[in-house]
Every structure is written in C-alpha cells, then in structure tokens.
A and B are shown apart, each in its own frame.
Chain A
C-alpha cells in the first residue's frame, strides 16, 4: 500500500468539534407492550451529522431494536419523514446543530397514520389516497410518433409539484388529516396538481371531480403546515389553492 492512499479518506470541510446530544425517542413495539414510551439516548455527534446519523449510531451501537425507515440518506427517497422537535422533517435532511442540540431532541413518528413500530407507520392509507387521484398522464387520440411538444412556459406551470417524493411529511402534518384520516391529504392533491396543470394531460376534469369529494380539497383549511413541512420546498398550499380555483372556474 502506498502512503498516498491515506488521503483517500477525506474529512468534512473544516474540522468540526464533536458534541453530545440527547435524543428523546418515542418507542413502541406491540410485541412487547401496547404502550408507547419515551426513551432517552445520548450520542456523540459532529457538526455535519444529521438526525439520521444519530439514529444510526443508536441503532448500531446501543439498541439494535430501534426501528425506522431510511434509504437514500440525502433527502430524495422520502423514507424517513418523522416528527423532530414537534415538526415533520426528514431525518436525513435535518442537521443536529440546526435543531438546538443543547436540549433533548424529541423524535416521534409522523401523526395520523397507524404506528407499526417505533418510528415506522403504516403507509398504506397514504398511498391509497395517492392512487385514487389517478396519478398518471391521461391522453386520448393518436399518439404522436415523436415526442409531444410542450412549451417551457407550460412546463413551468407544474414544475413545483413534480418534485414530490411521497414522503408524507405534508399529509401527516395536516391538522385536518390527524382527526379525519379519510381526507385525501395534501400529498394526493399535489400529485393531482402535477397532472391537472400539465398541458399534455386530458384527465384534468376527472381528477377535479375526484377531489371535489367531501374529503377532497375543500377539507383544506389553509393551515400551511404542509408547506412548512415539505422537505422538497414545494409550495403545497399554493398548489392546493390552484386546484380549488380550477374547480371553481369549472363550476361557474
């Protein structure tokens, strides 16, 4: 081995001193007890560490039974939405130093979906609502042999809502969804928006019809929790309002 290989393990920009943080995690394991409990863990962390890193440290070094979902670790797969210090966030996108590590950081599962174990919730109801709004391009008539054209301006109309990673941070931050699990929820509306405002799509009015449901867009009370929670920075409430306005224009 050559000496130069040492350089192959770079350290993060600048040397950041380590510090300790306490995570107060809401634990629940139906195999052990029907009750959820709070449990504190203290771990050593560095400046660029995220909540996910801290959770991994706990799982890998302290308590292997701590259960949570994760995959990409950089905010693009939508696996690890959870409630950190009272707000929905992605664990992999939240730096410890940004959530005041001086006090214990509370970590809970997202609200409104049945908890399966620790930080894992049942995502089926969430995806079911998503599937209901016909989240696919609907067109009729002859397919062009080349691509369909779309002007950059038309493309821009739904750009924001194409960013959704279906993490459920929005839907599970919505006060209406907490108490009324039948509400379609912002994520489903965002994904409907993505198609309703796509100039190539012809299924807009069907989707509007679906969301005109008692549990559809009118359920939204513009509390903006969804917009605040969205890790992709999607202007969720704005999208919902655009859908509402489209319905009104259609009705009058």
Chain B
C-alpha cells in the first residue's frame, strides 16, 4: 500500500484467531473436586486427632519414640486411623499439587515431567507407608528392651 509511514518494524497482526487447544469433557475434574472436599473433612478429624494425641497428650513431642509408635499401632484402631490418614492425605495432597502444576506449568512437556515426578513420589510414599503399617512388628525380637513398648515383655 502507498500509505506506508514512518512505522518501524513490521508487526504481526495483533488479533490472533484463537482456538481452544483441545476439549476434554468428562467427570474426572468433578470427582476430584468433590473428593478434595470430602477428604478434607475426614482429614480434619484424622489429622487433628493425630496431632492431639502425638503432640498434646502427655509430654508432647518428647514422648514420641519407637515405643510410643509401637504402642499406638498395636491397637487396630490406630492402625486403620493412620492408614486412612496416609491414603487420604496423599491422594488429597497429590491431587492438590497436580492442580498447582496445571496452573503454573504451561508447557506440555514441563507439565508432563512434573506430573510424572509427582506420581512417582505418590506411589513410593503410599506403598512404603502402607507396608510399614501392615508389616509393623511392635516388638522386634532383637531390639534392646528399653526401646520397646512396655507390653513387649519378652
């Protein structure tokens, strides 16, 4: 066109036609949203109970040692409690972190890598934690007696 001016660089058309990258419909996000809330409520009870017993009753942190843990896990109620807490907290937390990754990692590759790492951490921790709770022996036979709970009378 003849009406060129002093304008400097040629600039791309600023109004890009815009298309959504892809549509993903389905109830996945819905369930995860509901789960966050449901698990939150349950966790509230579980965690507060956990903290109260561990930190507030008796001597607080100083009371925690192998014996204390063993004492708790010899009771099936606490076993279920902690197991549930482990699972719920891990799923809740992992899902939360997944959201955060979605928010801040805009490139597909970064998103993928971070989510991979997250999944790995989740699996390791949950599997390990579950195994520990289930295979835990409160009175390991070869341990010094003073470290064990009082009910481990050899």
Contact = CB atoms under 8 A, between A and B. Distances in A.
**Do A and B come into direct contact in the complex, CB within 8 Å?**
yes
Interface of A: 30-32, 114, 116-117, 122, 124-125, 128-129, 132, 175-176, 179-182, 209-210, 212-216, 218-219, 221, 244, 247-248, 251
Contact of B33 (A125, A129, A179, A218): A218
B29 A180 contact: no
Given A128-B20, A216-B29, A251-B31, 13 more contacts: A30-B9, A117-B14, A124-B17, A128-B18, A128-B19, A132-B20, A179-B104, A212-B27, A212-B29, A213-B23, A213-B24, A214-B29, A215-B20
Interface residues of B, number: 29
A212 B19 contact: no
Given A122-B15, A122-B16, A179-B106, A214 B8 contact: no
A167 B17 CA distance: 19
Contacts of A128: 18-20
B interface, over-half SS: loop
12 contacts: A31-B7, A31-B9, A31-B11, A114-B16, A122-B16, A179-B103, A180-B102, A180-B106, A181-B106, A214-B28, A215-B20, A218-B32
A176 B103 contact: yes
Contacts of A210: 23, 25
A31 B103 CA distance: 32
Interface in B96-129: 99, 102-104, 106
A176 B104 CA distance: 9
A30 B106 contact: no
A124 B16 contact: yes
Identify the interface centre among B17, B31, B103: most chain A CB within 10 Å of its CB: B103
A176 B32 CA distance: 17
A182 B9 contact: no
A210 B21 CA distance: 14
A247 B30 contact: yes
A148 B24 CA distance: 35
A248 B25 contact: no
Contact of B27 (A125, A179, A181, A251): A251
A31 B24 contact: no
Identify the interface centre among B8, B9, B20, B104: most chain A CB within 10 Å of its CB: B20
Contacts of A251: 27, 30-31
Contacts of A176: 103
Given A179-B104, A212-B27, A122 B14 contact: yes
B144 interface: no
Interface in B39-63: none
Contacts of B104: 179
B23 to A, nearest CB: 6
A182 B20 contact: yes
Nearest to A123: B15
Given A31-B8, A179-B106, A248 B20 contact: no
B29 A124 contact: no
A32 B25 contact: no
